[in-house]
Structure 1
Amino acid sequence: MERYQRIKDHVYGKFNAIYNEILRANAMTHTNAVDNCITLLAISRNLNLELCKICALFHDFSQYTQNCPHSEHARMSAIYAHNFLSETNLFKISEIDEICYAISQHSKKGQYDSPLCEALKDADVLAHFLEDPTKQFEGIKRERLLNACADLS
């Protein structure tokens, strides 16, 4: 988990530099929530915990740090993650590809992907629910929420 800690320090360092206080708080709160949720899902689904948690750290990175449109944030976050992870020389190319693919696909909630992608999608939905339990979830997001909760029981 040393690699995870190094990535977490980098990501939260970038978040700390966000000038807008509300955006900075949202970046930290949501990223932390997804990180916590994916931890539980990774353990319950027997997935690589470190890779899952690194996905969570980067999944909305560009939305918060580069103010990119929501429609582009998954792709842009994956590109940033790929470049940064490659520069660290801490990861195999296959690990970088797996992490970045999950990040790039996490907004496509209606599509089934790899187990890592699914964990990130489900952690994102679960985190949004925990951030506002009064929010109504419908369709695939509701299904994901219920399935994620079932996996945790």
Structure 2
Amino acid sequence: MNRYETLKDYFFTHIEEQCHGIYKQKALLHSIQVSTLCQKLALEHHLDVELAGIIGLFHDYIQFTQHSSFQHGLRCSEWISSILSEFQDDEKAIIQQAIARHSEKDKVDDAYSEILKDADVLAQYFAETDIVLSDEGQKRLKKYLPEKI
């Protein structure tokens, strides 16, 4: 089993155990959608698809499992190192940095952080097309759906 599949199994098991009802549904749908969008964007930008998928899958994990959005990106980036034993230090740094920065939609960061930010905004829009996005979110969405803004 590859690393992504192993971590995906971990994700599903723990979301199943720690989330309930509509919160579980949101955790699963949003995380899978962001993961898939990250993989697509990684292909387009010639980035590592496996790392992008993991980043997308786990970017809100702590928010869902601890039921708090307070600094969830930073908290998740610190926590995730505990399950990345199969990864090289540079890969861990990419994953942790992207997750830590994903809520800072107004800043431009490294390529992995940027695809996560874009995928997160796209997934939010697809889940709720009448969502009111921040100015930064609207700018990110406009890159992909210019006719919608």
TM-score scaled by length of structure 1: 0.89
Distance 1:41 1:146 in 2: 15
2:139 maps to 1:140: no
Cα displacement (A) at 1:97: 0.9
Off by >4 Å, runs of 4+ in structure 1: none
**Between the two proteins, what is the percent identity of the paired residues?**
31
Partner SS state of residue 70, structure 2: helix
Counterpart residue number, 2:73: 74
Q: How many residues end up aligned between the 2 structures?
A: 146
Greater relative CO, 1 or 2 (CA 8 Å, sep 6+) = 1
Counterpart residue number, 2:39: 39
Q: Where do 1:107-146 residues align within 5 Å?
A: 107-146=103-142
Unpaired stretches in structure 1, ≥5 consecutive residues: none
Could you list the per-position Cα deviations for residues 91-126 of structure 1 after superposition, in whole angstroms to 9, with x for gaps in the alignment? 101100110010000000001110000000000000
Pairwise CA RMSD: 1.6
Unpaired stretches in structure 2, ≥5 consecutive residues: none
TM-score scaled by length of structure 2: 0.91
**Maintained 8 Å contact 1:41/1:148:** no
Distance 1:133 1:20 in 2: 25
Counterpart residue number, 1:28: 28
Structure 1 residues 19 and 125, CA, compared in 2 at 3 Å: closer, same or farther?
closer
